[in-house]
Amino acid sequence: MSSLSVVYDLTDYTAVMAVCIVLTVVLAAIIVAMAVMSYVKSGRLSEGTFVVPAASSDGSGDAPDDTAAAVTPAVDRSLLPVFFDELCAGMPSADREKFALLIAGEEKPANLRYREPLTSYDTEKEFLKDTFLSFDALGGQLPTAAAEELFSEYVAMLRSPAAITRINYKMVRFYFARRKSEEDALGKCIRLCKKDIGFNFDKFDVAGRKVPSLKRLILIYTAQKKYLEALNLCDEAISREVLERKDEGYEERRARILGKLRREEEKAAAKAAKAAEREEARKARAAERAAAKKARAAAAEKAAAEAAASVTKDSAGESDNGGAV
């Protein structure tokens, strides 16, 4: 009897159905495998819509630290300047893709100042110039590491002190806007303010000019109640005749900060006086308790002495009565 006849002779309907299901699954798997192979050969997988993180070098299979998500949407590189990946090589890969999405993705922010198409840029410097013209539009979404890399690259290319201090202050504003959401943003902002203030004092005659980083740092110190630091900066600005506003120096701001310092000092003095009063009252109560305790002890000692004397007297009286008998 042939094997085909054996199959037809099976009477167990359940077994027949199980065999059919297995054969169907195997056939489906073969079809899927063939489709995937065709997709890879066509080259679409390597240029596809998704970038999958590479496995870690330690063989653990975990994604590298610079990968922000398991799957990051990619941008068609033909829409970007030819030098884009080389320019952004210092960024974490996820941040580089985020920046690419912001400037060439379907949901890029409004008010970007780039030329169209982006491939029309011949030099990195031209591209970075328009990047910083677009910085306010990008700033809310641009990753910090990406912004820092772009800032470092562009400042290194600039030769004009005026251009450098202008870009410095754009980065100051970037950090300041993230002071509540990123732990070290305010510290970076303060350090860059100090650097830019020194740069301005070194490169320019600042008399009759504004120094935005100077004003920003004064505002930060005032908000932190570091009034002496803020006053020192005001004194420096006044001595160099730096303008805060048109035709106005820092005298008025200094007076306001000084007023805040005086009020803080008055509050501190009043608080110290109240603390001293409370301490004196505490000491007085403690002295009263000690005196009362001492008086109670003396009274107890006197009562004990009187009781002992009474017992002695009673004993002496009893002895006298016994002698009489």
Whether the pLDDT of residue 138 is over 70: the answer is yes
Mean pLDDT of 22-35: 77
* CA–CA separation, 275 and 286 (whole Å): 16
Q: How confident is the model at residue 34 (pLDDT cuts 50, 70, 90)?
A: confident
pLDDT at 5: 46
* CA–CA separation, 216 and 174 (whole Å): 12
Q: How confident is the model at residue 19 (pLDDT cuts 50, 70, 90)?
A: low
The count of C-alpha atoms lying within 13 angstroms of the C-alpha of 57, restricted to the half-sphere facing its C-beta, is: 2
Please, are residues 71 and 51 in contact by the beta-carbon 8 Å criterion? yes
Mean pLDDT of 211-216: 98
pLDDT at 234: 97
Question: Of 39 and 254, which is predicted with more confidence?
Answer: 254
Mean pLDDT of 54-60: 43
Give 312: exposed, middle or buried? Use CB within 10 Å, 0-12, 13-18, 19+.
exposed
SS3 of residue 248 by DSSP: strand
Which span out of 51-55, 137-141, 161-165, 272-276 was modeled with the highest average pLDDT? 161-165
Percent of residues, the chain, with pLDDT higher than 90: 53
pTM score: 0.66
Give 145: exposed, middle or buried? Use CB within 10 Å, 0-12, 13-18, 19+.
middle
81-133 pLDDT tens trace: 999 999 999 999 999 999 999 999 988 888 999 999 999 999 999 999 999 99
Compute the radius of gyration of the chain from its Cα atoms.
42
Whether the pLDDT of residue 9 is over 80: the answer is no
Mean pLDDT value across the chain: 83
pLDDT at 13: 57
Taking CB atoms within 8 Å and a gap of at least 24, the contacts of 138-141 are: 138/102, 138/103, 138/109, 138/112, 139/173, 139/174, 139/177, 140/177, 141/98, 141/102, 141/109
SS3 of residue 176 by DSSP: helix
* Residue where the block lists tokens 């002495």: 305
Domain ranges of the chain: 68-157
Give 258: exposed, middle or buried? Use CB within 10 Å, 0-12, 13-18, 19+.
middle
